[in-house]
Amino acid sequence: MTDRTYQGLDPQQAAERVAASINLRKRKETRFVWLGKTAVAIALGFLVLLFAGILTKGIPGLFQYYVTLDLQLDAQQLDPSGQMTVESLAGGDFDGVIRASLYEALGNPEGRKAKREARRLISSGSSQRLMTYVLDNPEQLGSTVSIQFAVDDDVDTFLRGLISRETPEADRRISDQLINYIDALNAQGRISYEISDYLFFGSASRDAEMAGIRGALVGSIFTLLVCIVIAFPLGVATAVYLEEMAPKNRLTEIIEININNLAAVPSVVFGIMGLAIFIVAFGMPRSIPLVGGIVLALMTLPTIIISSRAAIRAVPPSIRDAALGVGASKMQTIMHHVLPLAMPGMLTGTIIGMAQALGETAPLLMIGMVAFIVDVPAGVTDPGTVLPVQIFMWADFAERMFVQKTSAAIIVLLAFLISMNAAAILLRKKLERRW
């Protein structure tokens, strides 16, 4: 403004400058688009890498090797008292029947050492499996049946090719003789590679070939049920109150800040709190899904509250005006209009919270859900564990077969997560269509 004679740019000059600036803008735009594309590509690359890694490791973990044996089910030997109950069968010699059949398949090896090696072929849980079979099929007593038994985890590892024949005998976990037996059974076509029933129907076990995730899966379901039953209604009610009813004053401001802060608290802190309050102060039992669910509910509450509030705020004020205008009370306006419109957003937040809870390990370790529990929990007050904790425990075991089991369990966890998300998306679609 100092130059009083300044008359502005002439149009020719202005057009040139605009052209120059347009080039600059275009270059910036192109650079930005490229940056974005690279970022997406990198993210996708890592995702593919992650899935490829999990699937290549985990899919073999869904299968395991079985050996088929022909068993002569001698009633006298298996059920000496003839009552066909769990107690009477406990007196039966199931191991003997299995061993006899095994020795026969291997051409009746001589000597204690040879026999001991032969016994190492099959899983130590085989007698349990035979007992279950007999209980389910009592009419088969006295006849000859073929049953598949899992092979021992070292044999399984060998069959997968993870133990080399070239390794000196002293350095590998299976002996030359055992390898000969395996070859013999293979030649007879008795060894098969099938979907692992132990993985899906078995419970925690130190024997890798028998270890399964059923207990952990059921524990996870119970824990999440408790979590959602507590967190969803509480979270939605809190959000509705804070957003629609609470007066805007100091107190509500402090509450709001604290809720936001809670969302950032490390989950292990919630675990310690659960330990101190529910287990120590209230005297609730350790390791139960009920306590786990409550702790996870406290952890996910802030997530649900924050997303629910955002969903409520996104409902256009004109809808509230419309409802109030025809004489709906505040409660009716909320229940009939605001909540249904905000529900899809609330569900999204809840699912994010639940997914977070499903994958949580640390707080559950604090309340003892890491215990080694063989029984599948029958209710929320039965001790149990959850999938991520089970994965954590398996990853810690030395046996090689647990690597595959761990990867398989991770696949199951991911499948659980994806089906949960899919259910939420379907539910959301359905709710949205209603409006």
Task: Give contact residues for another protein (rule: CB under 8 A).
Answer: 247-248, 316-329, 332, 336-337, 341, 435
User: For the purposes of burial, counting CB atoms within 10 Å of the CB of 81, is it exposed (0-12), middle (13-18) or buried (19 or more)?
Assistant: exposed
Nearer to another protein, 175 or 252 (CB): 252
Nearest to 358 by CA among 303, 318, 433: 303
Contact 279, 291 (CB under 8 A): yes
Nearer to another protein, 71 or 323 (CB): 323
Instruction: Write down the least CB distance from residue 430 to another protein, Å.
Output: 15
Distance CA 244, CA 335 (A): 11
Q: What are the distances in angstroms from CA 372 to CA 194, 336, 390?
A: 27, 48, 9
Nearer to another protein, 113 or 336 (CB): 336
Q: Is the Cα torsion angle 224, 226, 229, 235 positive or negative in sign?
A: negative
Nearer to another protein, 14 or 331 (CB): 331
Q: What are the distances in angstroms from CA 49 to CA 42, 124, 215?
A: 10, 37, 30
Placement of tokens 């509030």 in the chain: 309
Instruction: Write down the least CB distance from residue 321 to another protein, Å.
Output: 6
Cα within 13 Å of Cα(87), Cβ side: 1
Nearer to another protein, 164 or 249 (CB): 249
Query: What secondary structure, in 3-state letters, does 290-339 show?
Result: HHHHHHHHHHHHHHHHHHHHHHHHCCCHHHHHHHHHCCCCHHHHHHHHHH
Q: What share of the chain is helix, strand, coil (3-state, %, to 5)?
A: 70, 5, 25
Token pair of 123 as six digits: 């899983």
Distance CA 49, CA 72 (A): 50
Instruction: Write down the least CB distance from residue 428 to another protein, Å.
Output: 15
Instruction: Write down the least CB distance from residue 434 to another protein, Å.
Output: 9
Distance CA 172, CA 217 (A): 34
Instruction: Write down the least CB distance from residue 309 to another protein, Å.
Output: 17
Instruction: Write down the least CB distance from residue 324 to another protein, Å.
Output: 7
Distance CA 265, CA 260 (A): 10
Instruction: Write down the least CB distance from residue 258 to another protein, Å.
Output: 22
Nearer to another protein, 322 or 415 (CB): 322
Nearer to another protein, 184 or 324 (CB): 324
Instruction: Write down the least CB distance from residue 435 to another protein, Å.
Output: 4
Nearer to another protein, 16 or 253 (CB): 253
Nearer to another protein, 38 or 329 (CB): 329
Instruction: Write down the least CB distance from residue 248 to another protein, Å.
Output: 6
Nearer to another protein, 128 or 329 (CB): 329
Q: Coil, strand or helix: which one is 429?
A: helix
Distance CA 300, CA 356 (A): 8
Contact 431, 343 (CB under 8 A): yes
Nearer to another protein, 168 or 316 (CB): 316
Does residue 69 come out as left (phi exceeding 0), alpha (psi in the -120 to 50 range) or beta?
Answer: beta
Instruction: Write down the least CB distance from residue 253 to another protein, Å.
Output: 14
Instruction: Write down the least CB distance from residue 318 to another protein, Å.
Output: 4
Distance CA 293, CA 274 (A): 10
Distance CA 348, CA 334 (A): 19
